[in-house]
Structure 1
Amino acid sequence: MSTPRFLTLPPGVRPISVDTAAGTFAALEAMPVSGIPERWPALLVPGLTGSKEDFISVLQTLAQSGRRVIAIDMRGQFETDGPDDPAAYTCAALGNDIDLLAQTVGGDEPLHLVGHSFGGLVTREAVIDGRTKFASYTLMSSGPGAIVGPRERFGRAMLTELPEFGLEHLWHNRMEPEALAAGVPDEIVAFLRKRLFSNSPVGMTTMTRQVLSAPDRCGDLAQVGVATLVLYGEHDDGWPPHLQAEMAHRLDAECVVVPGAAHSPAVEAPETTAAALVRFWNAAEARLLS
């Protein structure tokens, strides 16, 4: 569970809706101070229990690099509606959403794509299917396949408890105690509760099954030829850091380890994370335009 550092939107960031053929998606949009993007846009996709707000701390800095930056809620997450159909929440179905979102946000321009945690498993579907031209791709605190370690155990507990006891049980017995033990401020705890109860239970259950059973698709991703960055915190408690480093090697990708961060570097070390993304994006654009 990631915890946004603050919920007040910084200057140049506003809530918007993005309409696609697959439906309407809640989003946060960040624009350069000038109001005129001079570089290619970026699309940021959150993890399973996350939302667009997980990127608040980096949006302004990313936009100041001359880009329009969009962070979204996936279908069934927080402020984006979703159906009570498990088939709508597979990685393939959600990846199709990302294709449509990228084509809408990017228009005729290539787009930088970032997937955090489970969002990495979703976004790679859009990269692999080849329907959208991406300027670059970043896997943030994600892995080559099914999640392992402490978050795997949490996911399996969710699958047992959520269908039987519902979101109330999940909040009071797992997520709220975790937040309080971490010293999360009251207003953020209230936001996390509101966010959890806004999620589709069917979506959460299906996405949890997906993150626990995802196949290793590094071979398919490596063949696409998109400039790729693997970025993670040195203390990541999701996919182990050594596994993400190995994935970067297999993908011939750049690898950035964020000092002091765990599973949510955009929250825990926003300036370092934003600087790494901007540098990578600028380099990817320079290569494509040369």
Structure 2
Amino acid sequence: MSQLLTLEVPDNARPVRLPTERGVFAAFDVVPDGQVPARATALLVPGFMGSKEDFLPVLPSLSNGGVRVLAIDGRGQHETGGASSEPSYSRDDLASDLVAIAKHVNGPVHLVGHSYGGILARAAVLTTQGDPSLWASVTFMNFGPSGVSSWQRERLQLLLSVIDSMTLADMWPFVRNKEASAPPGVEIFLEQRWLRNNPMQLAAAAEQMLNEPDETPQLARLSIPKSVISGTPDETWVPEEVERMAHDLGASFARIEGGGHSPNVHRPAETASALLDFWLSHQKAAAA
């Protein structure tokens, strides 16, 4: 579960609704102020039980670096809800949502998938064969080559065993991160966010995290620029496997010590720096 330490929203972050051919998605749209020229657009995809708020700590630095940022709630998450009248939570359908958002903002976008969001980001890139009109690059943050670690598997299997028989409110005391401390207002938000999730989406995501195949070879064959960020320590995807995936992809790699599973929260300056360095270096290479 993503841990939040603050809900402070930057002044230039506008809560928006993105109308796409796949439905309407809640997002923060962060546009650089007039003092910094806009040089790129990034699409940030949260993980399991996450939301656009997970990226709040990195938004100011990314915006100051000249990047327009869209941080979204995925289908079934928080303020997006079902997105359309007949929602599906299959991996391929959720990946198609990302394609639709990229089209809506007239890509290409720098795509970033955190944790479970990495599953969807990879599927979106593979489905479109790395289409350069959609994707300027793809970054995986604390996401490994296939299914989650054995420790996380036990937690997901437990969730799946009770999700049809317990309400989300009854489940909250068991899923909240008891070892983490957060300001009272953030704790209230985390509970409210959990209650707004769609149980069908949670179950589908849990199944996908348990059964995700290793599609590293297929992705490695695509020419799209790739990077991997690994916050450590992490119990969801083993950091050694994350680094090995980066090597097999020929991707840029950044290890962020002390970042844990959410380096965007615990080490936002280092995370934003790694993203900007990667994005802007590839833009310079493309322009050369």
Q: Same fold (TM over 0.5)?
A: yes
Task: Specify whether residues 98 and 35 from structure 1 end up closer, same or farther in structure 2 by C-alpha distance, changes over 3 A only.
Answer: farther
Query: Which residue does the alignment assign to 1:26?
Result: 26
Q: Secondary structure at the match of 1:163?
A: coil
Question: What is the rounded CA distance, in whole Å, between the counterparts of 1:114 and 1:58 in structure 2?
Answer: 12
In structure 1, give the amino acid aligned to 2:220: A
Alignment coverage as a number of residue pairs:
285
**Between Structure 1 and Structure 2, which shows a larger proportion of helix residues?**
1
When normalised by structure 2's length, the TM-score is 0.94
When normalised by structure 1's length, the TM-score is 0.94
- Correspondence list, 1:165-204, <5 A: 165-175=166-176, 178-179=177-178, 181-204=179-202
Contact 2:22 2:84 in 1 (8 A): no
- Correspondence list, 1:106-255, <5 A: 107=106, 109-130=107-128, 132-133=131-132, 134-175=135-176, 178-179=177-178, 181-255=179-253
In structure 1, give the amino acid aligned to 2:19: D
Query: Which residue does the alignment assign to 2:6?
Result: 6
Query: Which residue does the alignment assign to 1:80?
Result: 80
Residue 246 of structure 1 deviates from its aligned partner by: 0.6
In structure 2, give the amino acid aligned to 1:24: V
Residue 210 of structure 1 deviates from its aligned partner by: 0.9
Residue 83 of structure 1 deviates from its aligned partner by: 7.3
Residue 87 of structure 1 deviates from its aligned partner by: 7.5
In structure 1, give the amino acid aligned to 2:215: R
Query: Which residue does the alignment assign to 2:262?
Result: 264
Question: What is the rounded CA distance, in whole Å, between the counterparts of 1:212 and 1:136 in structure 2?
Answer: 26
Contact 2:76 2:198 in 1 (8 A): yes
Residue 85 of structure 1 deviates from its aligned partner by: 10
Question: What is the rounded CA distance, in whole Å, between the counterparts of 1:62 and 1:40 in structure 2?
Answer: 10
Task: Specify whether residues 71 and 83 from structure 1 end up closer, same or farther in structure 2 by C-alpha distance, changes over 3 A only.
Answer: closer
In structure 1, give the amino acid aligned to 2:205: M
Question: What is the rounded CA distance, in whole Å, between the counterparts of 2:41 and 2:223 in structure 1?
Answer: 19
Q: Which moved more, 1:162-171 or 1:91-100?
A: 162-171
Question: What is the rounded CA distance, in whole Å, between the counterparts of 2:111 and 2:27 in structure 1?
Answer: 15
Contact 1:85 1:202 in 2 (8 A): no
Q: Secondary structure at the match of 2:188?
A: helix
Gaps of 5+ in 1: none
After superposition, what is the alpha-carbon deviation per residue over 1:67-106, rounded to whole angstroms, capped at 9, x for unaligned? 210000000000002179998112111000001111112x
